Structure 1
Amino acid sequence: MKILIARMNHETNTFSPVATPLAAFGCNGPNHGEDALNENKGMQTAMAAFIDAAEREHAGIVTPISASANPSGPVEAAAYDAICDAIVAAATGCDAVMLDLHGAMVAENSNDGEGDLLERVRAALPNAPIAVALDLHGNVTQKMIDNADVIVSFKTYPHVDMYETGAHAARLLFDLIHGKAKPLIAWRQPPLLTHTLRSATAEGAMKRAVEAARAAEADGMLAVSVLSGFSLADIEAPCISVVVVSNGEREQAEAVAERIARQIWNDREDFVYRSAPLAESVAQAAALAHGADKPVLLLDHGDNCMSGGTCDTMDLLEEALKQKLEGIVSGPLCDPQAVAALMAAGVGSTVTVTIGNKVASSAVIPRPPVAVTGVVRALTDGEYVISGPTYTGQRAFMGRAAVLDTGTVKLVMTERTHEPWDLGVFESVGIDPRRARFLLLKSRMYCRPVFVPIAAALVECDSRGVTSSDYGLFKFEHVKRPVFPLDAQTEWAPTNEAS
């Protein structure tokens, strides 16, 4: 048996001005062949689980590509074609396919990145079973449903079950191959744009939906996935979905999908996040710091690179300085020009540079860069190894990194947008984040498993960036209307088809 295993991960924010060329995938482009296998082998990705499952079956493994990029703007057409072409070209002679996909890719030449890829793979291998692992924030389409035999998504956010999801999908694929199961997919998609901050699986309506999915699996369904969708994509339906895989039982699968989708629709208000004014959030953080012996986290979720943020909006830092907060550690701020200036000046130099607010976007009002003066404390290559629990063991690349110390704030600046997955973001440049009074992180959720344990409190701060929770900032032109919460009076009646 010969199995095609590949990874194509990108969550596309169509409002983001951050470009997505082929070089954005990986350190400087995707890995191919043996390098693609080695990049995932032993890691906590779905592709790693696929590899392990195929090896247990003593199957031949073909790994044409592993391509993963931080969320950003639409994928350049040449990059999308290169990734898809590599996967399709490798399909010849394969007996089965396992794909580690995100589910919310939009390219310059495709509004349905995963669906169009799966359609091509199915055309190349019409009789081969295809299993797909998806991110919880995938935007499911009919084309994806039509061209896969097994679909399973993450059940955690922050995502700490990527490997487990791949293992689940692989198990169902091999059960199909060995005649132990006949996977059949049903799905529903209510017209609901969820907020990412309401898709955390440890609380609220999303927790209840995932619990319902797990209960349905315990009651006999092969897999039940709740995908909250990624709403900052101006496509037809960037909405929440329920995907059910049954063992050949169409009626039961449809009933489960409909029941959970109806539960979600009844809970729709709980999937909406309404931000406090930024000044109010910073004042709250200041109050929480009184008497605290640990840092207070201020999460700048309006400029979060893991949703396509530029990582260069200065709203939160400016407000913190305006309210005279001290003992601040902030970052990573993406500003290649400032990094270059600090590199040229050298460690120990006192410099004045303009930082941030340099990447223009149609979604936010332009603001001038901010001039700051400080001492260059560190200059590094910006690389470190993630300690976990997300992407454990993988090497992270921030581009070159520099630390500017103004006396009030230690600012970590990088050449690339970067999520603070790990204390290594700061420790790799000589900063102990535990010693800060305030930690200003450009993050929404992924920092929490690592930074919450070292913090006294957490405050969510919504800057006017391209990942803001204020949908009023964004001009949705292609989303099918009506849709909640853009249209408050939206109604929905489940049917036997997704709607």
Structure 2
Amino acid sequence: MRLLLAALSHETNTFSPVPTPRTRFCRDGKELLEGERAIAFFRGTGTCMGGFLKVAEEAGAEIVVSIVAHAPPSGPVQREAYEGFCDAICGAVAQGGWDGILLDLHGAMVAEGFEDGEGELLRRIRAIDPTTPIAIAYDMHANVYGPMVETATIAAGYHTYPHVDQAETAERAARVLLRALRGEVKPVVAWGRAPMLPHVMAQGTHAFPNKELQAMCRAWEESGRALAASLFVGFPHADIEGAGLSAVVYTDRDQADAQRMVQELLDFAWQAREQFVFRPEPLADSVARAKAAGVTKADKPVVLLDHYDNCASGGTMDTTEVLAEILRQGLEDVAFFGICDPAAVAECQAAGVGATVTLALGGKLPMPALPQSSRPLEVTGTVRTLSAGYFVTKEGLSPGLKVFMGPTVVLDTGKVEIVLVTRQIEPVSPDMFRVLGIEPRDKRFLAIKSRVHWRAALGPLAREIVECAGVGVCTSDYSQLTFRNVRRPVFPLDPGTNGPVG
């Protein structure tokens, strides 16, 4: 048995000013992983590629890996990069002789000229090879279009947010594919959308309603009623027709039952639509609340979430408003992760460890999609740490994965240790602090540019959680964004929207 594996994964924030060239998909900023190097890199990791490799190797398959292209969320993928990635994958498909194709895709990729990046890739694959079975692992934040699921033999979405089941999701999809190859099952699919844009801050599977929706999907799979059942909360910071919540269910030959399960998921989500809305509070109030909670130091820190500027949703990671308010209100014993500012990092490197420097941090990327942009923040501090930014994740989203943050600095103001990075990266793991000489458990406050993913590994360290509405293209205030292309009416942009029709 010969299996072709490939990955092309990007969550596109169409409001983000961060560009998405080919180099953004390279883990070291230089070259893509492919072939035997990709197999060695991902084997045994808690990633989709890790899951695909596990199932393929257990089956004794001959494995060929085309490109593995993952990029942090940002603006639309540049057309030249997208075409190059599609050509590489389609070129591998065209070699022929495959028994199955396993694809690690995101589901919310927008490329210049294509708002359904995954569907266009699959259309091209099927134009070359209309019959070879395809299994796909999708992110829970996929914005689903018909070609994404109708051209696949099987597609499975994550059941957890934070996404701690990436490898498991790929394994689920791959195992169904192998069953189909053996003639044990014949997957059929049903899917549908609800007219709603759930706020990302209300999508976590630690709470109602997504916790219950994902439990329904898992129960149907475990009982055998569904081969794969997925509730996609969607990615709302994509101004495209298909943005929003959807459900996709595959069964063994019973499309009517698949449709019944889809409708049950959509109806449940619609009835709970108010719980998918997040309402922010003024920034000064949030920081004051955090300060009051941290008056007495305990064995766990208070966590402040600078969630409007989460780079894992396309944020620039260089907005300064939350950091400025923390400094203004005088919070002490704070670790702030972080500000993406290569120029500031270079200045600290030139000054050296122990030097005192005054820098204008952040505020360097204009954000024309918002009514306001961030401003540089002047800070004086001591250079405490210079790091190459390499570490291996031990827990959380992708255990065993080698991560490259790029050159990284810790700048200490005396009250706040500010992490300065050269690549946008979401602070989701204690390992990211510890490689810089910071023990997160010992801090009075952890201020991080994150939304939900931090809960997987940093969550157990939190004594209290305070969400801080700063400035950024991941804003939870939809009124700050202009939606021109999303289907209308849609809740909560249009409060009187009618629900999904059975």
Question: Could you tell me which of 461, 464, 470 is aligned with 1:463?
Answer: 470
2:315 maps to 1:313:
no
Q: List per-residue Cα deviations over 1:250-288 (Å, max 9, x = no partner).
A: 111111111211111111111111111111111111111
Distance 1:300 1:493 in 2: 34
Partner in structure 2 of residue 356 of structure 1: 362
Query: 1:328·1:439 contact (CA, 8 Å) conserved in 2?
Result: yes
Instruction: Count matched residues.
Output: 495
Structure 1 stretch displaced more, 361-370 or 395-404: 361-370
Partner in structure 2 of residue 416 of structure 1: 423
Distance 2:334 2:500 in 1: 50
- What secondary structure sits across from 2:458 in the alignment? helix
| Structure 2 unaligned spans of 5+ | none
Partner in structure 2 of residue 46 of structure 1: 48
Q: What is the CA-CA distance between 1:59 and the residue it aligns to? A: 2.0
Identity over aligned residues, as a percent?
44
Query: TM-score, structure 2 length as denominator?
Result: 0.96
Alignment of 1:49-64 (within 5 A): 49-64=51-66
Distance 2:396 2:460 in 1: 13
Query: 1:331·1:440 contact (CA, 8 Å) conserved in 2?
Result: yes
Query: 2:213·2:268 contact (CA, 8 Å) conserved in 1?
Result: yes
Partner in structure 1 of residue 175 of structure 2: 171
2:267 maps to 1:267:
no
Partner in structure 1 of residue 330 of structure 2: 324
Distance 2:500 2:23 in 1: 44
Partner in structure 2 of residue 67 of structure 1: 69
Q: What is the CA-CA distance between 1:219 and the residue it aligns to? A: 5.7
Partner in structure 2 of residue 233 of structure 1: 238
Distance 1:254 1:428 in 2: 49
Structure 1 stretch displaced more, 143-152 or 428-437: 428-437
Alignment of 1:275-294 (within 5 A): 275-293=280-298, 294=300
Query: 2:321·2:374 contact (CA, 8 Å) conserved in 1?
Result: no
2:90 maps to 1:84:
no
2:224 maps to 1:224:
no
Query: TM-score, structure 1 length as denominator?
Result: 0.97
2:343 maps to 1:337:
yes
- What secondary structure sits across from 1:215 in the alignment? helix
AA at the equivalent of 1:200: G
2:100 maps to 1:100:
no
Distance 1:341 1:333 in 2: 14
| Structure 1 unaligned spans of 5+ | none
Partner in structure 2 of residue 214 of structure 1: 218
Q: What is the CA-CA distance between 1:72 and the residue it aligns to? A: 0.9
Q: What is the CA-CA distance between 1:40 and the residue it aligns to? A: 1.4
Moved over 6 A (4+): none
Question: Could you tell me which of 35, 51, 54 is aligned with 2:37?
Answer: 35
- What secondary structure sits across from 1:111 in the alignment? coil
Distance 2:144 2:20 in 1: 21
- What secondary structure sits across from 2:465 in the alignment? strand
Partner in structure 2 of residue 125 of structure 1: 129
Query: 2:308·2:476 contact (CA, 8 Å) conserved in 1?
Result: yes
- What secondary structure sits across from 2:426 in the alignment? coil
Query: 2:47·2:167 contact (CA, 8 Å) conserved in 1?
Result: yes
Query: 2:164·2:456 contact (CA, 8 Å) conserved in 1?
Result: no
Query: 1:15·1:466 contact (CA, 8 Å) conserved in 2?
Result: yes
Query: 2:359·2:380 contact (CA, 8 Å) conserved in 1?
Result: yes
RMSD: 1.3
Query: 1:382·1:399 contact (CA, 8 Å) conserved in 2?
Result: yes
AA at the equivalent of 1:368: R
